[in-house]
Structure 1
Amino acid sequence: MLLMPEVVTAQDPQFSQFYAAPLYLNPAFAGATQQARVGLNYRNQWPSIDANFVTISAFFDTFIESKNSGVGMLLMRDTEGQAGLKSTSVGLQYAYQLYITDWLTFRPGFQAAFYNRHVNFSDLTFGDQFDPNTGEIINPTNESFGNLSKNFVDLSAGGVLYTKNIWVGVAAHHLNTPNQAFEEDADPKELPTKLSFHGGIKLLFSPGTMGSGLYARPQERSLTPTFQYKTQGEFDQLDMGLYLTLEPIIIGTWYRGLPFKKLEGFNNNESIVLLIGFTKKGGQGDLLNIGYSYDYTISKLGSGSGGAHEISISYSWNNRDPRKPPKHIMQIPCPDF
């Protein structure tokens, strides 16, 4: 594919647990928990195919109560293909919390990121290296590609509008459509702007109870339908499903694809995603979330691809000054996975 730059179109990495990668989904989520938070995401896509599609992200964000502002940092590393095409990025984010009414809040957010893309063609093998009788590699190749690297700056923005139980958001990544071409004199290979629309509603049931007496506390019982639609260049995709929260356990399932839109004659059905998550709340507002999801491939690629495995871990803690009286702040009701 790397030898056909005129016909190849790149797409951004994706996470099935897109709300477990909030800063990657939308910079407006920076500081959205009203606390300090760290998180880690790992995704291994199609492990049965020797193509090495692995994405890792780590993030930190916090809320500055006196400024009604959230700040965050996002680190990403994406590896794909036999040649080890790697994309590494560091993004800084800022979001402002604007109270429109007592029940409606809007958060705009912005990100500036620095990207490095690197590819090592020396990891590939070519026909002139093989013994035609045995198939063994006996010769060095006459091809000379070497290592190639590209740096660029990337700009993104987004916003989230929400009430106590409903939220909708939009994000636009790669607003400056940076040039990804490795060679300076090559034709520009602009990274297309990616638009993402996401939202959902949390339906609360009668809570359960953990502990007894003075140590009793309510346990959340809720159903949360969600969706995410994204488009980038010639590609678009829809994720839709729901989360069932029976604290401390969260179960989720959703569908990825666009059944009403065919792609080159094929039905655009990609996968069914299944999630199991665990959440634990601490006495001072601390919150630990651990999630695992599996993508069962339903496209023509088939289940032999190995689907995709994804793990997410996040931890948030209260970092506000305990001497100050608590401030009324509405939290976004979106799930943590």
Structure 2
Amino acid sequence: MGKVLRYGCTGWLVMALCMNAGAQDLHFSQFMNSPLTTNPANTGFIPEADYRVGIHYRSQWTSIPVPFKTASVFADFQVFRNKIENGWVGLGAVILNDAAGRGNLRSNKAYASVAYHQMVGLSSLISAGFNVGYASKRIDITKFTFDNQWNGKVFDAGNPTGETFLTNSTTSYFDLQVGMNYAYFPTENAYVNAGVSVHHINQPKETFFSNSGNEVPRRYIGFLNGSFKVNDNWIINPNAYYSNQAKASELVMGGNAAYNLMGDGSKVIFGGVYYRWNDAAIAMIGFEMKNLRFTFTYDATMSSLRTFNGSNGAMEFSLLRNGYYSEYFGDKNMRRQSLCPRF
């Protein structure tokens, strides 16, 4: 009987996790390397380049039989730099995919972003942007098992469950986000950036049932980061991130330091530590070469969940490519000065 209850509770736990996942957004520990999902005003806000392309992957709770896997790819560009006095427009797009739980709750999302950036004086920048996109989700109920399907030896999928199943296995909706940023760079060795954004501002409805529709709750995100060049060999980057949605909140704080390996900035290594409040300690290491930046983080669970997952929280990596248009157009005069500290 103990085994029946254990597996039965597992089935309900997985289903509960999947339903909760439907109400909660995807997230990355490397929020600083996922700019378009953090704030649409980040679109085209690239202090050290003219464009960037990135990929991101996260695998969470692999030691529990309901792993969560999230991947994204994004790109954004600065346009009209020569048409707008002391300002420019950012254009970008991001695609996300997420698979969660035994029921294979799969989410696919695609967003297009637009932002406007305006210099204020010689040392400040204000940005505002929005994105609009389409989200779809599906779930496979046949992957679930329930306690009344246990025949004493194995789970028999042919046994009736007595449960009220979902009417639809898919759901979809249009989505809208808005955000604002402010950056301050008084010297070439100091840079501070802060931003706020509201996600699901239109509160779209999503449901797997035909007779009800749950509104996706608005998500509020705020972040603060900085970059400070200590000397020719070291740059430090403190970061903080806060998110709140449907009474669920997330606070991440920490920082990393970059070391100039070659003296000319062509090869840089970096590492750091972050902490997600009441959840996990996050270790970061990375390497940058020729405008390619690879970052790896590992989340060690610190909450009571560590009893079940052995503190194995999540592995995450990102690969970013920053570049200048002069690389393709051949006019070196097009290369502009970076707004943040660089080696």
Q: Does the pair score TM above 0.5? A: yes
**Residue in structure 1 matching 2:58, options 29, 43, 49:** 43
**Partners of 2:301 and 2:193 in 1: how far apart?**
29
Query: So what's the TM-score if we normalise by structure 1?
Result: 0.83
Structure 1 residues 222 and 324: alpha-carbon distance in aligned structure 2, compared to 1, 3 A threshold: closer
Which residue does 1:32 correspond to in 2? 45
* Aligned partner (choices 175, 187, 196) of residue 221 of structure 2: 196
Segments of structure 1 that go 5 or more residues without pairing to the other structure are: 209-220, 258-268, 282-286
Partner of 1:250: 270
State the match for 2:120 in structure 1: 100
CA distance in 1, matches of 2:214, 2:37: 23
Post-superposition shift, 1:327? Answer: 7.1
TM-score between the two structures when normalised by the length of structure 2 = 0.81
Q: Name the residue aligned to 2:298.
A: 294
Distance 1:327 1:35, change over 3 A: closer
Find the aligned partners of 2:294 and 2:159 in 1 and give their Cα distance.
46
After superposition, residues 91-170 of structure 1 pair within 5 angstroms as 91-132=111-152, 134=153, 136-143=154-161, 145=166, 148-164=169-185, 165-170=191-196
Q: Does 1:21 align with 2:37?
A: no
Tell me if structure 1 keeps the 8 A contact 2:223–2:241. Answer: yes
Aligned length in residues: 302
In the aligned structure 2, how far is the partner of 1:93 from the partner of 1:278? 28
Tell me, what secondary structure is at the counterpart of 1:241?
Answer: strand
Establish whether residue 314 from structure 1 lines up as the match of residue 320 from structure 2.
yes
| Structure 2 residue runs without a partner (length 5+) | 1-12, 186-190, 261-267
Secondary structure at 1:122 match in 2: helix
Once structures 1 and 2 are overlaid, which stretch shifts more, 29-38 or 308-317? 29-38
CA positional deviation for 1:28: 1.3
> Could you say what secondary structure the match of 1:202 adopts?
strand
Match of 1:55 in 2: 70
Describe the SS at the equivalent of 1:246: strand
CA deviation profile, 1:196-226 (whole Å, cap 9, x unmatched): 1101222211113xxxxxxxxxxxx111211
Whether the 8 Å contact between 1:105 and 1:330 is mirrored in structure 2 is no
In the TM superposition, residue 20 of structure 1 has moved relative to its aligned partner by: 1.0
Provide the aligned C-alpha RMSD in A: 2.4
Alignment of 1:66 with 2:87, yes or no, is no
From the two aligned structures, give the one with the greater helix fraction.
2
Give the AA of the match of 2:270. Answer: I
* Preserved CA contact (<8 Å) 1:21 1:41: yes
Q: Is the 8 A contact 2:227 2:340 kept in 1?
A: no
Q: CA deviation digits over 1:16-50, x for unaligned, max 9?
A: 11111111111111122242221111111111011
Partner Cα distance (2:239, 2:16) in 1: 38
User: What per-residue deviation string (whole Å, max 9, x for no partner) do you get for residues 124-158 of structure 1?
Assistant: 123344331x2x24451434657611110000011
Q: CA deviation at 1:183?
A: 2.5
Instruction: Give the one of 185, 203, 225 matched to 2:211.
Output: 185
1:237 is matched with: 250
Larger mean Cα displacement after TM superposition, 47-56 or 311-320: 311-320
Structure 1 stretch 315-324 or stretch 84-93: which is displaced more?
315-324
Q: Give, in whole Å, the separation in 1 of the partners of 2:159 and 2:151.
A: 12
**Kept in 1: contact 2:167–2:209 (CA 8 A):** no
**1:333–1:24 CA distance, 2 compared to 1 (3 A):** farther
SS at match of 2:82: helix
How many angstroms does 1:2 deviate by? 7.7
Deviation, structure 1 residue 52 = 2.0
Q: What is the CA–CA distance in structure 1 between the aligned matches of 2:144 and 2:132, rounded to whole Å?
A: 34
The equivalent residue for 1:217 is none
Q: Which amino acid aligns with 1:194?
A: R
